[in-house]
Copies of this chain bind each other. A is one copy, B any other.
Amino acid sequence: MAVYTHVSAEMMARFLRDYDTGELISFKGIAEGVENSNFLVETRGGKDGHRFILTLYEKRVDPGDLPFFMALLDHLAERGCRVPRAIADRNGVQIRELAGRPACLIEFLEGISLTSPSPAQARAAGEALARMHHAVADFDGARPNSMGLASWHELAGRCDGQWQQIDPALEALVEGELAFLAEHWPQNLPQSVIHADLFPDNVLMLGDSVSGLIDFYFSCRDARAYDLAVTHSAWCFSPDGRQFDSAVSDALLQGYHANLKLTPQEIAALPILARGSALRFTLSRAYDWINTPPDALVTRKDPMAFARRLIFYADPAKAGLFG
């Protein structure tokens, strides 16, 4: 939660002169996302809206992926999905540069990100995810999953010798799971562009309705059912992973299935896909944990919160969870 790059109001006002967004009247750095610098921008007198998020892409986002992300937002918005539109300048350009970084101006959406969603809210998130999967059926953009199965071995390797500083049981858990998933990871499931990171953070809600899906910077082409598994692992547990909420889980799955029927093969694969999701976030958090000084102002996210989910999903007694 930080703004990494300073942008003055004067720089911002100059930047906006190339857009049909009117005159700058407010400009605040916001503590949103972990990897980019984000600013809330307000204008008046323009044709192309008056409230925006300006994002400067700092580190983890590959600038070469931005055309894919922007095309995806355009595609989803055109099909009625509630996602922020990317705003083009008068020359039709969506991806610009500001302060030496790739910069995109994106529609601001109302809504709040929940920490403890209710079943009704989880149902709405499941519905929105299914609608997104319908909407991308005719989207032909492609981006491989940089955080998919193949990456997990590499990520684990970069944590080698340092697992102990997190938890004494973690190394064995990760190694066992890597071996298991390498052997059992489902192949030939229906592919689709997926969000791949649909945490409650990335779903804006007004009451029990979804007002926006945001932060598509992990979106990629992968198994469609894996997206539901990621969302399940992100929504259905207490943040520390100690408590599973079956009412939230049932509602999320019902919301999804009511709008999109998965194949029997996909449903059968969900328990393993959920293990994969839990391992993916265990590993990315472990890597960040090891590489973030304890006194940094950035809050480190506990890898064990997802290791606990992994143990939960791997428990044979939970096999019936996904129906």
Q: Chain A residues in contact with chain B, CB under 8 A?
A: 1-3, 6, 8-10, 12-13, 23-32, 40, 42, 110-116, 206-207, 293, 295-299
Closest residue of chain B to A205 (Cβ to Cβ) is B9
- A40-B28 CB under 8 A given contacts A114-B10, A116-B10: yes
Q: Which residues of B contact A207 (CB under 8 A)?
A: 23
| Residue from A10, A26, A110, A295 whose CB has the most chain B CB atoms within 10 Å | A26
In this complex, the member of A3, A25, A27, A40 whose beta carbon has the largest number of chain B beta carbons within 10 angstroms is: A25
Check A112 against B27 for contact (C-beta < 8 Å): yes
CA A114 – CA B207 in complex, angstroms? 37
Across the interface, do A113 and B31 meet the contact criterion of CB distance under 8 Å? Answer: no
Within 8 Å by CB of A25, from B29, B42, B110, B115, lies B110
Q: Which residue of B lies closest to A12 (CB)?
A: B112
- Give Cα A177–Cα B10 distance, bound, in whole angstroms: 35
| Contact A3 B31, beta carbon cutoff 8 Å | yes
Q: 26 A-B residue contacts at CB 8 Å? A: A1-B29, A2-B2, A2-B31, A2-B297, A3-B31, A10-B114, A12-B112, A13-B112, A25-B110, A25-B112, A25-B206, A26-B110, A26-B111, A27-B112, A28-B31, A28-B32, A28-B40, A29-B30, A29-B32, A30-B30, A30-B40, A31-B31, A40-B40, A293-B295, A297-B297, A297-B298
Residues on B with C-beta less than 8 A from A25 are 110-112, 206
Q: How far is the CB of A176 from chain B (nearest CB, A)?
A: 34
Number of copies of chain A assembled together: 2
Task: From B1, B42, B293, give the contact of A110 (CB < 8 A).
Answer: B42
Query: Closest residue of chain B to A2, judged by CB?
Result: B297
Q: How far does the Cβ of A21 sit from chain B's closest Cβ, in whole Å?
A: 14
* Distance to closest chain B CB from A34 (angstroms): 12
A42-B32 Cα distance, complex, nearest whole Å? 16
Contacts of A1 in B (CB 8 A): 2-3, 29
Known contacts A31-B31, A40-B40: A112-B9 contact under CB 8 Å:
yes
In angstroms, Cα B110 to Cα A299, docked, is 31
| Cross-chain contact of A115 among B10, B113, B115, B206 (Cβ < 8 A) | B10
Interface hub of A1, A6, A116 (most chain B Cβ within 10 A): A1
Task: Report chain B residues within 8 Å CB of A32.
Answer: 28-29
B28 and A115 within 8 A (CB): no
Residues of chain B lying within 8 A (CB to CB) of residue A10: 114-116
A39 CB, nearest partner CB in chain B, Å = 9
Chain B residues with Cβ below 8 Å from A42 are 110
> With a CB–CB cut-off of 8 A, which chain B residues contact A2?
1-2, 31, 297
Asked if A30 and B31 sit within 8 Å, CB to CB, the answer is yes
Chain B, residue nearest A204 (CB): B26
Please name the residue on chain B nearest to A53 by beta carbon: B28
A26-B110, A28-B28, A42-B110 given; name 15 further pairs at CB < 8 Å: A2-B2, A9-B114, A10-B114, A13-B112, A24-B112, A25-B110, A25-B111, A25-B206, A26-B111, A27-B112, A28-B30, A28-B32, A29-B32, A30-B31, A293-B295
